[in-house]
Structure 1
Amino acid sequence: MSYLLYSQAQQLKLHEPVPVTLHPAAVYLSSLSQGSRRSMLSSLNAIAHLLTEGECDAFSLDWSKLRYHHTAAVRTALKQRLAPATTNKMLVALRRVLTEAYRLDLIDAKDYHKAVDIANVKGTGQLRGRALTRAEIESLIECCYQRRDAISLRDAAVIAILRCGGIRRQEIVQLKLEDLDLATGELTIRRGKGGKFRLVYLTPEAMDMVEDWLEIRGKLPGPLICPVNKGGKVILRHFAADGDGIYKLVKARAMMAGVKHFSPHDFRRTFCSDLLAEGEDVFTVQELAGHASPATTAKYDRRGEGRKRRAVKRLKFRC
């Protein structure tokens, strides 16, 4: 970032409070789910710090004062420091805040269209995350069932739901007992990403593990998955909405089972890859995963080069 931009910090700073209903960052963040809100607020804070050398955050920066030379400089700085996927996520936040500023009549159309006209950063083409092997999943489950205490059976239920339901960690913490049909294994996701409703289905084996947990949790109304204290007492409340507790739970269980590091989201990649490997069409997998488009589902495919080799071998050289 150039000294010229830093020298404009005072010009970009809000000098009096703005009602949240008129603050573009506040309006944008309020439109997001709780899980996304934390991530995008962090992105906006980082951009504000970049533009003002740490003087402003998302709520003290006057976003309506940003022009093309500001946004282009932000893109360059982020590209130099961060991975393409992270950079592009932050650019989404930047464009969306400027869109809200435009909708609130805080920036005119000409300046707005110039400011948001910044291209995404091209990636290397390398896919993020990985799929878990069958042996790794079995190791995780065996690790949970070695003790069969409340925490272990709760963790086994989490692994079963993530692996067989392919849901997000922010979705699993929102589940209530009433969202699970014990007779059919049908699981209702009432507010997925973008507030979307969908149904997923657990296998009989997954349901067995969930029912083991419910024997300890009990059948009282409340969250399906909930904390357990060190004494083994179930605390009938939801985990934090951002799913950080699920991330820590999975990370700890992987270390205990001796499984190479992975994230809860890798269960979604495994879920999609396995369904595609079994011959399910991409549109069905898209619906189960709650993706906005088949193109997103395709990015979750971690079947590797083996599927390409097998596909080519099925070709006939002569008709």
Structure 2
Amino acid sequence: MSYLLYSQAEQLKLHEPVPVTLHPAAVYLSSLSEGSRRTMLYSLDAIAQLLTDGECDAFSLDWSKLRYHHTAAVRTAFKERLAPTTTNKMLVALRRVLTEAYRLDLIDANDYHKAIDLPNVKGTGKLRGRALSISEIESLIASCYQQGDALGFRDGAAIAILRCGGIRRQEMVRLKCQDLCLKTGELTILKGKGNKHRLVYLTPDAIALIEDWLEVRGSTPGALICPVHRGGKITLRHFASNGDGIYKLILARAKKAGIKHFSPHDFRRTFCTDLLESGEDVLTVQELAGHRSPATTAKYDKRGEGRKRRAVRHLKFK
């Protein structure tokens, strides 16, 4: 089905260069953190390509020419193709760019308010991802130590940080040796989501795994978790900022350990679930995970119906 609403995509193109300070997409993207910027640029490119049959990207589309029939068509197209969460993220990017176009006086108020008047797509209510079991985590670590080389120790340290720190993969790739205090277990997360800093606290077991890696890596300043090449050669540089290196690391380790597919983000779900299961209050878990609100933390709770059954057992008639 075609969603090309103009007779020619040419009508939606920018025909003259626009300074970045006056380009709605550039202004919006500049307000975001590095990780969010990449995600939203992908969303804007997808929207531009959809509307122009692949002829435009985020910076060659004239966003000021979009009207309600364009934005409604974008919502319909993505609703049919993508998961609700992904579609709603696309709509956030679309609304925000049009807001910048309005602030820059590139679109009048009436057209702007009509164009952004799009309801979010409702989800199925099913929670994403899964929590890992203790036996799965033990199998992952055992796989690392059975390998017994630089790669195995590096992967063991990465798993320890993801499991006990509950951090995002994009946060992990920015970690430096000096961000970790081995004595106290404090790990400083600089410029997390929303450019916020926070502290997480690693357990003695996690610290022991990291120390084994550092014995191989050495104490030279640089990336805490870094690439290991064939032959065990270690390069003291950071993985790519999008975290793909960590994603591939985890996929490879899960395959070697014979564990059902999971993503690095499932360690965050496991982190939040285990803390809530142990009785920690949701606000503490929220702070440790770096979530904006307790509602976000609640989405990471994978305890299922068991917690509800256990809760009502405490109710009495007398």
Question: 1:58 matched to which residue of 2?
Answer: 58
The Cα shift of 1:272 comes to 0.2
The Cα shift of 1:111 comes to 1.5
Query: For the residues of structure 1 that align with 2:113 and 2:14, how far apart are their CA atoms?
Result: 22
Question: 2:268 matched to which residue of 1?
Answer: 268
Q: Secondary structure at the match of 1:91?
A: helix
The one-letter amino acid of 2:50's match is L
State yes or no: 1:247 paired with 2:266: no
Counterparts of residues 61-210 of structure 1 (less than 5 Å): 61-210=61-210
Question: 1:29 matched to which residue of 2?
Answer: 29
Query: For the residues of structure 1 that align with 2:4 and 2:249, how far apart are their CA atoms?
Result: 46
Give CA-to-partner distance per residue, 1:166-202, whole Å, 9 cap, x none. 0000001111111101100000011100000100000
Give CA-to-partner distance per residue, 1:88-122, whole Å, 9 cap, x none. 01111111111111222211222212111101000
Q: Are the aligned partners of 2:3 and 2:51 in contact in 1 as well (CA < 8 Å)?
A: no
Query: For the residues of structure 2 that align with 1:228 and 1:33, how far apart are their CA atoms?
Result: 28
Question: 2:277 matched to which residue of 1?
Answer: 277
Q: Secondary structure at the match of 2:188?
A: strand
Query: For the residues of structure 2 that align with 1:296 and 1:311, how far apart are their CA atoms?
Result: 22
Question: 2:315 matched to which residue of 1?
Answer: 315
Counterparts of residues 42-53 of structure 1 (less than 5 Å): 42-53=42-53
The 1:93–1:282 alpha-carbon spacing in structure 2 relative to 1, beyond 3 Å, is same
The one-letter amino acid of 2:52's match is T
Query: For the residues of structure 1 that align with 2:32 and 2:310, how far apart are their CA atoms?
Result: 42
Q: Secondary structure at the match of 1:250?
A: helix
The Cα shift of 1:2 comes to 5.6
The Cα shift of 1:37 comes to 2.2
The Cα shift of 1:4 comes to 6.5
The one-letter amino acid of 1:309's match is R
The 1:202–1:95 alpha-carbon spacing in structure 2 relative to 1, beyond 3 Å, is same
Query: For the residues of structure 1 that align with 2:167 and 2:6, how far apart are their CA atoms?
Result: 43
Q: Are the aligned partners of 2:4 and 2:50 in contact in 1 as well (CA < 8 Å)?
A: no
Q: Secondary structure at the match of 1:199?
A: strand
Q: Are the aligned partners of 1:6 and 1:53 in contact in 2 as well (CA < 8 Å)?
A: no
Q: Are the aligned partners of 1:35 and 1:243 in contact in 2 as well (CA < 8 Å)?
A: no
The 1:273–1:121 alpha-carbon spacing in structure 2 relative to 1, beyond 3 Å, is same
Q: Secondary structure at the match of 2:232?
A: coil
The 1:142–1:229 alpha-carbon spacing in structure 2 relative to 1, beyond 3 Å, is same
The one-letter amino acid of 1:35's match is G
Q: Are the aligned partners of 2:4 and 2:53 in contact in 1 as well (CA < 8 Å)?
A: no
Identity of aligned residues (%): 79
The two structures have a TM-score, normalised by structure 1, of 0.97
Q: Are the aligned partners of 2:171 and 2:192 in contact in 1 as well (CA < 8 Å)?
A: yes
Q: Are the aligned partners of 2:149 and 2:232 in contact in 1 as well (CA < 8 Å)?
A: yes
The Cα shift of 1:211 comes to 0.5
Question: 2:258 matched to which residue of 1?
Answer: 258
Structure 1 range deviating more: 101-110 or 265-274: 101-110
Q: Secondary structure at the match of 1:5?
A: coil
Ranges in structure 1 where 5+ consecutive residues have no aligned partner: none
Query: For the residues of structure 2 that align with 1:223 and 1:31, how far apart are their CA atoms?
Result: 26
Query: For the residues of structure 2 that align with 1:2 and 1:242, how far apart are their CA atoms?
Result: 32
Q: Which runs of 4+ in 1 moved over 4 A?
A: 1-4
The one-letter amino acid of 1:262's match is F
Give CA-to-partner distance per residue, 1:261-302, whole Å, 9 cap, x none. 000000000000000000000000000000000000000000
